Amino acid sequence: SAQRPRPRVLLKAPTLAEMEEMNVSEEEESP
Amino acid sequence: RQVTVQRKEKDFQGMLEYHKEDEALLIRNLVTDLKPQALAGTVPCLPAYILYMCIRHADYVNDDLKVHSLLTSTINGIKKVLKKHNDDFEMTSFWLSNTCRLLHCLKQYSGDEGFMTQNTAKQNEHCLTNFDLTEYRQVLSDLSIQIYQQLIKISEGLLQPMIVSAMLENESIQGLSGVKPTGYRKRTSSLADGDNSYCLEAIIRQMNSFHTVMCDQGLDPEIILQVFKQLFYMINAVTLNNLLLRKDVCSWSTGMQLRYNISQLEEWLRGRNLHQREVAETMEPLIQAAQLLQLKKKSPEDAEAICSLCTALSTQQIVKILNLYTPLNEFEERVTVAFIRTIQAQLQERNDPQHLLLDFKHMFPVLFPFNPSSLTMDSIHIPACLNLEFLSEV
């Protein structure tokens, strides 16, 4: 079969709101 | 339309490689600075496929930081575009199509057998090998909901000012104006700033424009259907609410014009292959209100006919329309108090909602059913206008 094994390493993701917070703080830090 | 899908390159495995320092340029050229018109004639949702091919290469080389970084920058880039263009239907629809397509790709190529049933053997070779992106799929799904809500807000904002005049005030049936109730001045609907009257054709033109844009951009048909269900619900709610508050439009002639207008909208749905039960049903209260205005309102048999017909209207709404009903001329009688009492008695066992007006801002929950693509990654060509020469095909 051409099927591959299921990917194993779960990449943890922040929520959409957390991403926004991180993005805002990065923008604030930049001059 | 011309579709720019090239025959596959001999050694291209459907992955795109870039240097980490080019990520910002990739997001700028492919997301934040991209104009949807620049991609006319290319594969719909091309940015989503390109982003998936970049993610796939980062997965292939087992670089979790690169995957994290690209997905985070993509999501933030899309949010930035949406914020900047928060009243632009075309841009919002474009990013809804692409976000949903990227979400579908992350499912279709996840390696999860449940999402692979329609894949070709070649497509199965293009699955992710190292990482499970389930959590990012959730973020993209949440983002899709936000974009959908923005799209509805924009389209409702464009349609709403047209509704009352187009549905209730404009007279397109010839000779009907002669049988309007006497004693009422012609009103303009909501704003009193001059000529803001619209005919039904304006609503249909606007909906044609929405539909064409969404189809051209490759938005999933199920989502397009949900957009029109929402818009038809709003047309129904705004029209019915006005009818329930305005004596001058509660007449036989408005009922006739209204029924004609609704049939034109239904005809439009059929013409665009959107006449599904869930969309058509949203107009049912308004159809019944139009029929109620036209039915005889005198005998016990008339009362029975009204009660069995008006199942999508509450008792309160039926009674209100009967109370507001305005005879056409001196030959037509007002609806008697006794007749209204008969109706109330017949409907007393109904467990109706207590509110008279409809919540025209109500939003149906949206669903994004999985919609795999038949395209194979190695067949996708990147047009020069995207300025992505720094991406290497792998």
pLDDT digits (tens, 9 = 90+) for B89-130: 999 999 999 999 999 999 999 999 999 999 999 999 999 999
What residues have CB less than 8 Å from B308, skipping those under 6 apart? none
pLDDT at B7: 54
DSSP track, B9-50? PSS--S-EE--GGGHHHHHIIIIIT--GGGGTTS-TTHHHHH
pLDDT of residue B172: 80
Q: What DSSP character marks residue B368? A: -
Q: Which residue has the tokens 């189809």?
A: B215
Chain A residues in contact with B121 by the CB 8 A cut-off are 2
User: Has residue A21 got a pLDDT over 50?
Assistant: yes
Residue B5 has pLDDT above 80, yes or no: no
Cβ(B302)–Cβ(B335) under 8 Å?
Answer: no
CB contact under 8 A, B111 and A5: yes
Residues in B closer than 8 angstroms to A14, CB to CB, are 72, 139
What's the pLDDT band for B2 if we cut at 50, 70, 90? Answer: low
Quick check: B3 pLDDT over 70? Answer: no
| Mutation target vs A (from B55, B62, B72; most A CBs, 10 A cutoff) | B72
CA dist B30 and B208 (Å) reads 28
Residue B265 tokens read as 């909208």
- pLDDT score, position B171: 83
Q: At what angle do helices A16-29 and B134-164 cross, to 10 degrees?
A: 90
Q: Do B142 and A10 touch (CB under 8 A)?
A: no
Say if the Cβ atoms of A11 and B129 lie within 8 Å.
no
Are the beta carbons of B75 and A16 separated by less than 8 Å? yes
Q: Is the pLDDT of residue B183 over 60?
A: no
Q: What percent of chain B has pLDDT over 90?
A: 86
Residues B294 and B255: beta-carbon distance below 8 Å:
yes
Q: Quote the pLDDT of residue B185.
A: 47
Q: In the block, which residue shows the tokens 């619209």?
A: B198
Asked whether the predicted pLDDT for residue B193 surpasses 50, the reply is no
B317-357 residue pLDDT tens:
999 999 999 987 777 788 999 999 999 999 998 888 888 99
Of B79, B133, B138, the CB nearest to A20: B79
Q: In terms of pLDDT, which residue wins out, B188 or B240?
A: B240
Residue B8 DSSP code: P
Report residue B173's pLDDT band, with 50, 70 and 90 as the boundaries. Answer: confident
What is the reported pLDDT for A2? 55
Residue B194 CB partners (closer than 8 Å, separation 6+):
none
Q: What is the pLDDT of residue B182?
A: 53
Do residues B61 and B16 lie in contact, with contact meaning Cβ atoms separated by under 8 Å?
Answer: no
Q: Out of A4, A11, A20, whose CB is closest to B135?
A: A11
Check residue B192 and give its pLDDT: 43
B67 vs A contacts (CB less than 8 Å): 11
What is the rounded average pLDDT for all residues in chain B? 92
Digit-coded pLDDT (tens) for B351-384:
888 889 999 999 999 999 999 999 999 999 999 9
Residues 6 or more apart whose CB falls under 8 angstroms from that of B264 comprise B200, B204
In this complex, the residue of B59, B76, B121 whose CB is nearest that of residue A19 is B76
Q: Residue B71's closest chain A neighbor by CA?
A: A13
Predicted confidence (pLDDT) at residue B184 exceeds the cutoff of 60: no
Q: Does the beta-carbon distance from B129 to A7 stay under 8 Å?
A: yes
For residue B258, pLDDT over 90 is answered with: yes
pLDDT band at B4 (very low <50, low <70, confident <90, very high): low
pLDDT of B190 higher than 50 = no
- Give pLDDT, residue A25: 74
Read off the pLDDT of each residue in B4-12 and give the average, rounded to a whole number: 62
Residue B243 scores a pLDDT above 90: yes
Write out chain B residues lying below 8 Å of A7, CB-based.
59, 110-111, 127-133
Among A11, A19, A25, A26, the strongest candidate for a mutation testing the B interface, having the largest count of B CBs within 10 A, is A11
Q: State mean pLDDT over B311-319.
A: 96
Instruction: Give the pair of three-digit tokens for residue B45.
Output: 């949702």
Computed on alpha carbons and rounded to an integer, the radius of gyration of chain B in Å comes to: 27
B138 neighbourhood in chain A, CB within 8 Å: 13
CB contact under 8 A, B68 and A20: no
Would the pLDDT of B388 be above 90? yes
Measure the CA–CA gap between B303 and B306, rounded to whole angstroms. Answer: 5
Residue-level pLDDT at B188: 45
Residue B98: strand, helix, or coil? helix
Model confidence at A3: pLDDT above 60: no
Residue B119: closest CA among chain A residues belongs to which residue? A3
Name the DSSP letter for residue B392. E
Identify the contact set of chain A against chain B, taking CB-CB distances under 8 A: 2-16, 19-20, 22-23
pLDDT band at B394 (very low <50, low <70, confident <90, very high): very high
